Amino acid sequence: MSGESESGRLDVRRIVVMVNCPGTDTVFMYTDLPSPFPPGVSDEPLSVTFAVRSGYGIEYVKAHFPGVPLERLDQKTGKRENV
């Protein structure tokens, strides 16, 4: 592999949007790429994190990543729900 997934592009497996963060929604995208950490440190696949203006994370993900499983995580309450 040369830094890309087997399909030749980044395959996003699921997305979690953390809401109620100060000033932003935080988006966590989980991919099919291997962990960037050495074996034994983490086996979790590569994740990409970015911030979106508060209140617009879910809308942004739905518009730009249609069909990807989406979960909403409330930072204040810890409540998770599929969207």
The whole-number pLDDT of residue 29 equals 96
Q: Is residue 36 part of a domain?
A: yes
Write out the two tokens for 12. Answer: 């996003």
Q: Is residue 30 part of a domain?
A: yes
- Give the domain extent around 64: 12-74
Q: How do residues 19-78 score in pLDDT, each as one tens digit?
A: 987 889 999 999 998 888 998 898 889 999 999 999 999 999 999 999 999 999 999 899
Does residue 15 contact residue 72 with C-beta atoms inside 8 Å?
no
Q: Is residue 7 part of a domain?
A: no
What backbone torsions phi and psi does residue 73 show, to the nearest 5 degrees?
Answer: -120, 120
Q: Is residue 5 part of a domain?
A: no
Q: Which of 56, 78, 71, 75 is nearest to 12 (CA)?
A: 71
Give the count of alpha carbons within 13 A of 28, CB side only: 11
Q: Is residue 66 part of a domain?
A: yes
Q: Classify residue 15 by burial, with Cβ atoms within 10 Å: 0-12, 13-18, 19+.
A: buried
How many separate domains does the chain show? 1
Q: Is residue 83 part of a domain?
A: no
Q: Is residue 82 part of a domain?
A: no
Q: Is residue 6 part of a domain?
A: no
Query: What pTM was estimated for this model as a whole?
Result: 0.82
